[in-house]
């Protein structure tokens, strides 16, 4: 049984969700609760302090944060005001907009388009030069077969933060598999979806492990955004290792009827090498298990400082 509170603060029981609408409502309440808890902890508020500021009981806040408090709009507004965020932040995955953020947004709104672009470029440059200012996000880059999925999942388990594959997010957004996306929208359409998904992910503000598409380095705007907001790791493998892994995964397309497949792969790696080398860390993966690779990544001094800074 789930315990929820009605608008009068009375506890009522309800069975586990039994249809899609109830499931969606349950997931929504979990989202609201997790956002309240996350922002409260970021501001170093105890439930008691938040209760005193908002006028909402500690018991109700506990239920709310666990996804069992069916909060009214008025009470949600009280909680949001006490956390110094807009109420809509608590019901979405967007990053909290506090008073300082609202001030910056207001200043930006008064700038010309060219001035905003200059400000953005300067901000990204500053973030890139100050790793401690970046959120605790680790982005894995490299060609298909580099081990981004297996290593990403291992890092996710070790650090206990979500693992997200950009290509899967693109498929969700377009409601279609990648093969259809390329046929329907082409390379440019894929790039636009990739940028949107990355911006949505960054807007979440959460710590996570990100597996990127192998060609993300070809879009300079998107790649600059990634470099400036994430700790990037290039999983570097030899052409033969790349090919062997892709084939081992059952994907025979690279070699089917193509006698020059290896030469083409070598050329792609050569063309993208200078871009991949802009990453914070490069780890050679040939002959190594995902656990060993993950350990090498986590042993990097800059990354350890970043993790300590954000924890």
What's the pLDDT tens digit per position in 164-199? 999 999 998 888 898 898 888 888 888 889 988 888
Residue 253 pLDDT exceeds 80: no
Most confidently predicted of 101-110, 195-204, 248-257, 276-285 = 276-285
Is-contact 209 252, C-beta < 8 A?
no
pLDDT of residue 22: 76
120-141 confidence digits (pLDDT tens): 777 766 665 555 555 578 999 9
pLDDT of residue 294: 93
Residues 6+ apart with CB under 8 A from 250: none
42-60 confidence digits (pLDDT tens): 888 999 999 999 998 998 8
pLDDT of residue 117: 76
Local structure of 311: helix, strand or coil: coil
pLDDT of residue 14: 45
Three-state SS string over 172-190 comes to: HHHCCCHHHHHHHHHHHHH
Between residues 96 and 280, which one has the greater pLDDT? 280
Between residues 22 and 131, which one has the greater pLDDT? 22
Chain-wide mean pLDDT for the chain?
Answer: 80
pLDDT of residue 80: 87
What value does the mean pLDDT take over residues 220-225? 87
Cα(133)–Cα(127) distance, rounded to whole angstroms? 6
Residue 251 pLDDT exceeds 80: no
Provide the residue ranges of all domains of the chain, joining segments of one domain with +. 2-99, 122-310
Is-contact 242 142, C-beta < 8 A?
no
Burial (CB count <10 Å: 0-12, 13-18, 19+), residue 183: exposed
Residue 100 pLDDT exceeds 50: yes
CATH class of 2-99: mainly alpha
Cα(17)–Cα(26) distance, rounded to whole angstroms? 7
Region at 139 (left for phi over 0; alpha for psi -120 to 50; beta for the rest):
beta
CA distances from 187 to 169, 193, 253 (A): 16, 10, 18
pLDDT of residue 156: 93
Of the candidates 209, 262, 260, the residue with the CA atom closest to the CA atom of residue 239: 262
Confidence class of residue 104 from pLDDT cuts 50, 70 and 90?
A: confident
Q: Which CATH number fits domain 122-310: 3.90.550.10, 3.50.50.60, 3.30.70.2740, 3.40.50.300?
A: 3.40.50.300
pLDDT of residue 68: 84
pLDDT of residue 171: 92
Cα(285)–Cα(293) distance, rounded to whole angstroms? 7
């Amino acid at each position: 049984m789930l315990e929820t509170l009605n608008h009068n603060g009375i506890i009522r029981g309800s069975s586990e969700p039994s249809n899609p609408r109830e499931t969606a409502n349950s997931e929504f309440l979990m989202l609201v609760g997790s956002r309240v808890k996350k922002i409260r902890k970021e501001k170093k508020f105890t439930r008691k302090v938040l209760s005193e500021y908002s006028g909402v009981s500690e018991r109700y806040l506990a239920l709310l944060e666990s996804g069992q408090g069916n909060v009214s709009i008025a009470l949600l507004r009280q909680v949001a005001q006490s956390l110094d965020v807009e109420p809509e932040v608590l019901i979405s995955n967007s990053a909290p907009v506090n008073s300082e953020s609202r001030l910056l947004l207001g200043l930006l709104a008064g700038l010309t388009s060219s001035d905003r672009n200059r400000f953005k470029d300067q901000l990204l440059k500053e973030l890139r030069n100050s790793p401690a200012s970046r959120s605790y996000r680790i982005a894995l880059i490299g060609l298909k077969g580099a081990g981004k999925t297996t290593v990403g999942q291992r890092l996710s388990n070790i650090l206990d933060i979500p693992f997200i594959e950009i290509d899967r997010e693109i498929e969700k957004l377009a409601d279609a598999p990648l093969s259809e996306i390329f046929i329907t929208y082409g390379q440019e359409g894929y790039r636009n979806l990739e940028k949107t998904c990355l911006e949505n992910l960054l807007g979440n503000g959460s710590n996570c492990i990100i597996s990127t598409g192998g060609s993300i380095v070809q879009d300079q705007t998107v790649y600059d955004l990634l470099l400036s907001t994430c700790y990037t790791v290039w999983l570097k493998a030899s052409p033969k290792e790349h090919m062997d892994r892709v084939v081992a995964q059952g994907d025979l397309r690279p070699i089917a009827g193509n006698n020059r497949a290896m030469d083409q792969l070598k050329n792609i790696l050569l063309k993208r090498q200078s871009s991949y080398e802009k990453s914070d860390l490069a780890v050679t993966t040939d002959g190594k298990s995902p656990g060993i690779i993950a350990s090498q990544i986590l042993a990097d001094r800059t990354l350890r400082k970043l993790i300590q800074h954000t924890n």
